[in-house]
């Protein structure tokens, strides 16, 4: 039985990894074509390839559910096409045991995906963004046109950062706007960079514009001490797109926005999407298994792949539609994530019951 389990696992895992490699490769190629329009004297083809390579972990994580569905259809479908599944059933191997044979390698892929999302993707995506901006700017100098649109508010001061380096202890292009209690702009400053020193920031090459009732004047400073509650840890959360944040980072950032009285629902939606992604993968795999033992037992491989694409797109679209709906109609984001999972698990369970 152990050899049979390993045989089924190898077949499914090989198909799953093959599909995953193809999907990630196509996505990376598309990204390369899109990025080629930004190539200049500073940002070369080699830089584009390096940037795309740094984003591969997030692309792998993104396509794991889709690849699991199609990979299981191909791997298990090949066994069905060779009548190997029929032989297994005739030898006394139960349907539930075969289901477990298929799910075991999928659990390994799920585990790898969770580890990528939790420990590698946040750092890799932030490093890629920083690398791209620095290469495009040339000579390491950050211009205003390369803004990352990262804003933060603290009291009556608004801050904008062009680039936040990995680790959050180094900033490039720091713009600060200070208002009074009547919301009148009192001072604006721009510094080329800022470095965190224990409990404060040190700004470099600062230009400060003082705004007075009848005039403005500019003051230049080589260095300026900046005391703020904005820490590198918090910057790491703010600077990374919510899609790239780890589960712990999403939870911390959502709590922070709640404490600040800001809208945290998009972060909670992303949080529950990542927490429940293993269930999403298992629901799609269950549907794939039920199809092989049910309506797709005797069809061609091409039709199986086509069916997998249709159901994978249906699952993806339903989550993408329910997610924004939860933000508009203010129902819990966890429901928006769970409904497609529950529906697909129910479909898979019913089809397997009919095949048993």
Q: What is the pLDDT of residue 281?
A: 93
Cα–Cα distance, 219 to 207 (Å, whole number): 6
Q: What is the pLDDT of residue 319?
A: 85
Q: DSSP readout, 179-241?
A: E-TT--EEEEEEEEEEEEETTEEEEEEEEEEEE-SS-EEEEEEEEEEE--S--HHHHHHHHS-
Per DSSP, the three-state class of 3 is helix
Across the range 310-328, mean pLDDT stands at 86
* pLDDT tens readout for residues 9-26: 899 999 999 999 999 999
What does each C-alpha distance from 188 to 110, 215, 217, 302 come to in angstroms?
A: 48, 14, 11, 61
Cα–Cα distance, 240 to 249 (Å, whole number): 10
* Torsion, Cα of 140, 141, 146, 148 (10° steps): 70
Q: Residue 260: which pLDDT band, with cuts at 50, 70 and 90?
A: low
Q: Residue 147: which pLDDT band, with cuts at 50, 70 and 90?
A: very low
Q: What share of the chain is helix, strand, coil (3-state, %, to 5)?
A: 65, 15, 20
The position carrying tokens 């600077």 is 239
What is the C-alpha end-to-end distance of the chain, expressed in Å?
20
Q: Which strands form 185-197's sheet, in the order they lie side by side?
A: 150-154, 157-164, 170-179, 185-197, 200-211, 216-226
Determine whether 220 is exposed, middle or buried from the number of CB atoms within 10 Å of its CB (0-12, 13-18, 19+).
exposed
Across the range 182-189, mean pLDDT stands at 90
> Greater confidence, 161 or 140?
161
Residue 293 has pLDDT above 50, yes or no: yes
Cα–Cα distance, 288 to 253 (Å, whole number): 36
CA-wise closest residue to 352 among 305, 276, 296: 296
Q: Residue 108: which pLDDT band, with cuts at 50, 70 and 90?
A: very high
% pLDDT > 90, the chain? 38
CA-wise closest residue to 336 among 311, 350, 317: 317
Across the range 310-333, mean pLDDT stands at 87
The chain-wide mean pLDDT, for the chain, equals 86
Q: What is the pLDDT of residue 296?
A: 60
Q: What is the pLDDT of residue 269?
A: 92
Determine whether 20 is exposed, middle or buried from the number of CB atoms within 10 Å of its CB (0-12, 13-18, 19+).
buried
Report the sign of the C-alpha dihedral through residues 239, 240, 243, 247, in that order.
negative
Residue 258 has pLDDT above 60, yes or no: yes
- Range with the poorest average pLDDT among 113-127, 135-149, 200-214: 135-149
Please list, residue by residue across 311-337, b when 16 or more beta carbons sit within 10 angstroms of its beta carbon and e when fewer do: bbeebeebbeebbeebeeeeeebbebb
Could you tell me where the DSSP H helices lie in 230-300? 232-239, 247-259, 265-275, 277-293
pTM score, whole prediction: 0.77
Q: What is the pLDDT of residue 297?
A: 62
Domains, the chain, in order of start with CATH, read: 2-137+276-355 (no CATH), 144-244 (2.60.450)
- What single DSSP character describes residue 154? E
| Upper half-sphere CA count for residue 146 (Cβ side, 13 Å) | 22
Q: DSSP readout, 162-177?
A: EEE-TTSSEEEEEEEE
Query: In the chain, count of helices (H) and strands (E)?
Result: 12, 6
Per DSSP, the three-state class of 152 is strand
- Range with the poorest average pLDDT among 65-69, 191-195, 235-239, 275-279: 235-239
Q: Residue 341: which pLDDT band, with cuts at 50, 70 and 90?
A: very high
Helix (H) or strand (E) holding 263: none
Per DSSP, the three-state class of 55 is coil
* 224: β partners: 203
% pLDDT > 70, the chain? 93
Beta carbons within 10 angstroms of residue 32's beta carbon: 14
């Amino acid at each position: 039985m152990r050899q049979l389990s390993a045989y089924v696992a190898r077949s499914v895992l090989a198909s799953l990894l093959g599909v995953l490699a193809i999907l990630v490769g196509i996505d990376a190629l598309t990204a390369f074509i899109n990025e080629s329009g930004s190539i200049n004297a500073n940002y070369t083809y080699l830089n584009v390839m390096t940037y795309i390579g740094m984003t591969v972990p997030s692309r792998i994580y993104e396509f794991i559910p889709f690849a699991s569905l199609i990979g299981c259809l191909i791997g298990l479908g090949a066994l069905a096409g060779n009548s190997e599944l029929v032989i297994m059933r005739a030898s006394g191997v139960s349907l539930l045991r075969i289901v477990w044979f298929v799910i075991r390698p999928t659990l390994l892929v799920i585990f790898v995906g969770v580890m990528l999302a939790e420990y590698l993707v946040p750092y890799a995506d932030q490093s890629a963004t920083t690398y791209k901006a620095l290469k495009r700017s040339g000579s390491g100098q950050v211009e205003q046109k390369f803004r990352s649109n990262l804003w933060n508010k603290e009291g009556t001061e608004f801050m904008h950062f062009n680039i936040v380096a990995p680790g959050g202890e180094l900033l490039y292009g720091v713009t600060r706007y200070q208002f009074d209690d009547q919301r009148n702009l009192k001072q604006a400053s721009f510094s080329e960079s800022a470095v965190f020193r224990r409990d404060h920031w040190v700004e470099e090459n600062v230009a400060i514009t003082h705004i007075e009732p009848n005039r403005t004047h500019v003051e230049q400073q080589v260095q300026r001490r900046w005391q703020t509650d904005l820490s590198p840890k918090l910057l790491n959360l703010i600077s990374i797109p919510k899609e790239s944040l780890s589960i712990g980072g999403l939870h911390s950032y959502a709590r922070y926005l709640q404490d600040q009285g800001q809208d945290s629902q998009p972060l909670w939606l992303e949080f529950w999407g990542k927490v429940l992604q293993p269930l999403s993968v298992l629901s799609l795999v269950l549907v794939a298994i039920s199809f092989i033992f049910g309506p797709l037992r005797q069809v061609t491989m091409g039709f199986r792949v086509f069916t997998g694409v249709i159901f994978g797109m249906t699952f993806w679209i339903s989550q993408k539609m329910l997610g924004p709906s939860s933000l508009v109609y203010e129902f819990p984001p966890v429901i928006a994530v769970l409904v497609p999972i529950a529906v697909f698990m129910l479909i898979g369970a019913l089809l397997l019951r009919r095949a048993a």
